[in-house]
């Protein structure tokens, strides 16, 4: 149990440290491929321009 808590704290600390740079890092690490993935998701979900969708757990909200 203590090991689980330590892992949670470690992950929290990592994301706290990169939070201001997360979107930029995501662009670099994925070679901006995540933008292509998003387009595929929107197409698969049949979300069209002007439609409304709820983005749960949207992170930095750079998509929504």
pLDDT at residue 58, rounded to an integer:
80
Q: Which residues are CB-contacts of 14 (< 8 A; sequence separation ≥ 6)?
A: none
Mean pLDDT of all residues belonging to the chain: 88
Task: Give the pLDDT confidence of 6-18 residue by residue, as tens digits.
Answer: 999 999 999 899 9
Residue with tokens 């929504």: 64
Q: Which residues are CB-contacts of 47 (< 8 A; sequence separation ≥ 6)?
A: 53
* Residues in the chain, pLDDT under 50: none
CA distance 11 to 44: 31
CA distance 37 to 26: 13
pLDDT at residue 24, rounded to an integer:
93
| Cα distances (angstroms) measured from residue 5 to each of 27, 38, 57 | 30, 32, 21
Each domain of the chain, given as residue ranges in start order, spans 7-44
pLDDT at residue 64, rounded to an integer:
67
pLDDT at residue 28, rounded to an integer:
94
């Amino acid at each position: 149990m203590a090991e689980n808590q330590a892992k949670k704290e470690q992950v929290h600390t990592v994301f706290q440290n990169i939070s201001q740079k997360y979107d930029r890092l995501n662009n670099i690490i994925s070679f901006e491929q995540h933008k292509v993935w998003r387009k595929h998701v929107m197409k698969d979900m049949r979300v069209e321009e002007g439609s409304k969708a709820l983005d749960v757990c949207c992170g930095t909200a750079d998509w929504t």
